[in-house]
Every structure is written in C-alpha cells, then in structure tokens.
Amino acid sequence: MPQEPRKGKQVKTFTAYVPQLDLKKIKTVVSVRFDAKSGEFFIALPEHITATIQGHENPRKWKARMNSIGELTSDKMQDVMDEYESALSLFIMIQRDLQRKKVIAFWCRWNKPRDGAFSGHEISFCGSPALFLDYEVMWQVGKSLYHVDDEDPHALLIHGAGRHQDGEATVIDWTKDREKFFADMKNGITNLIDRLATFKKALGVNADNAIKQLMQPGQKALPAPAEREDAGPVR
C-alpha cells in the first residue's frame, strides 16, 4: 500500500526558490512540520523534484532521510531545512545534465573607416581599423550559457556578466569542424599580429626586407643593406 503523506504540526516556514522543469525558479513558502508520533521533523518536496532526484546519488551524504513520497525527515529541524536546499541543487544539476547541449559562442566587433567616422559594431575608445573576436565552446541550457568545467564534465559554471564586455554572443550548435573553423580563424588573426610585431622590429633595420617578409611570408629575405651593392640609406 502506498505511503500516505503525513500531516504533522507546522512549526516553521521559510522561503525558497524552487526550480521548475524548465529551470525557472518560483518563490515558494516551505513548511517544516513535526510528527509527534515519530518525534521527527519533515518537509515534503514538490512532486517534480522527488520524481527527478529519486535514484540519483547526492554528491555528499544526506543529513536527512528521504522516503518514497519525497519527505525529508530528521530529528533535527535544521537538517531537513539544509537538505531541502540540497535537494533543489541536485535537481538543477540533473536537469542541466539532461537538457544541456554543446554550442559555440562567438563574439566579434570591429571599427572600419567610413568618411572619417567609425562604422560597424564599434569598439569603444579605439581607432579604425580595429578588430576584436573571441569564441568559446560552451554548454547551453535553455537560453543560458555555461562554461565547460574540464575537471568535471557534469558541472556547469554559469557564463557570468563581465566575462566579455563586447556585446551578446552569436550562438550556434557545436560540431568538430565548426570548432576547427573558429580556432583557425582566431589563429590566423594571432599569426597576423605576430607578423606585424616582427615587421615593426625589422622596419628600422631594412624597410624593403620587412615589407617583403610581411607581404610574402616564407620568401627568402633580402640581404641586409651592407651586403648589397645598391644599398642606400635606410628609410
């Protein structure tokens, strides 16, 4: 015969934000009750929480017991209150793991000259031309983005405000080829920066050689001015 919910005497209430199946949280007043017959405190979990977490191992040892109908029970009131929050956290972890999908988040902003003014998706306090781009492989749950924790592939770390200060990300589904495309694009920009850094250093030594190497990487370098018969003053 199925276990019947206990009534008990309400001894305390507190506010909790209970996640729903879509992970939206609803502000809820939770009742702590006391069963005089057993001498125990208990809290009844919402049905969707109970159905989800039953059979799943809590990452840490429960301080309260949970019966088959989702009542958290202990002879200490604080224990059932603490474990209520722990049950909500476990529910969120399970639902995120079920709902998440791997995506690529991409950020890109630029300035380019147009009649002496900036155009495009402007980068503040920066001249023109200028380019910013970045990407990250992330988990997406609903509309929220989460960092992938390499140490624990089941953990999700929320993509917090301030991580990127350059506008909203464009999000696409992840594939291996797409990740390689974004990596190659970012590496191409990085290589250009490295070439420009080398060009700047070489420009004062041999301007023609520096330009040739920048425009045609991998070509044989021109000899230094002192080794050439037509060497003139370096400009």
Tens-of-pLDDT digits for all 235 residues of the chain?
A: 456 778 889 999 999 999 998 888 999 999 999 999 999 999 999 999 999 998 776 656 778 888 888 999 999 999 999 999 999 999 988 888 888 889 999 988 887 777 655 555 566 666 677 888 889 998 888 777 888 765 555 555 555 433 444 457 899 999 999 999 999 999 999 988 888 888 888 888 888 888 887 777 654 544 444 444 444 433 3
pLDDT value of residue 51: 93
Distances (CA, A) of 207 to 204, 212, 216, 227: 6, 9, 14, 15
pLDDT value of residue 228: 40
198 in a domain, yes or no?
A: no
199 in a domain, yes or no?
A: no
pLDDT value of residue 58: 65
**Domain housing 87:** 9-99
Residue ending a domain, choose from 145, 174, 203:
174
Do 106 and 84 share a structural domain?
no
Distances (CA, A) of 168 to 103, 129, 142: 15, 21, 16
Report the number of distinct structural domains present in the chain.
Answer: 2
The two structure tokens encoding residue 138: 């992330």
- Measured CA angle at 53 (ends 174, 66), to 5 deg: 165
Q: Does residue 50 contact residue 31 with C-beta atoms inside 8 Å? A: no
pLDDT value of residue 103: 93
pLDDT value of residue 35: 93
3 in a domain, yes or no?
A: no
pLDDT value of residue 229: 43
pLDDT value of residue 194: 87
